Amino acid sequence: MNISGMVTTDQAAEILGVKKESVYIYVRRLEGFPQPTKLGRTLLFDEAALRQWRQGHPARPRT
DSSP line for 27-62:
HHH-TTPPPPEEETTEEEEEHHHHHHHHHHSPPPPP
Q: For residue 25, what are the domain limits?
A: 6-56
In a domain, 63, yes or no: no
In a domain, 33, yes or no: yes
Q: What percent of the chain has pLDDT over 70?
A: 95
In a domain, 52, yes or no: yes
In a domain, 62, yes or no: no
CA distance 16 to 30: 14
Exposure on the CB side of residue 22, measured as CA atoms within 13 A: 10
Q: Give pLDDT tens digits for 10-32.
A: 999 999 999 999 999 999 999 99
Cβ within 8 Å of residue 61, ≥6 positions away = none
Q: State the pTM of this model.
A: 0.86
In a domain, 1, yes or no: no
In a domain, 30, yes or no: yes
CA 48, distance to chain mean position in Å, is 10
Total count of domains within the chain: 1
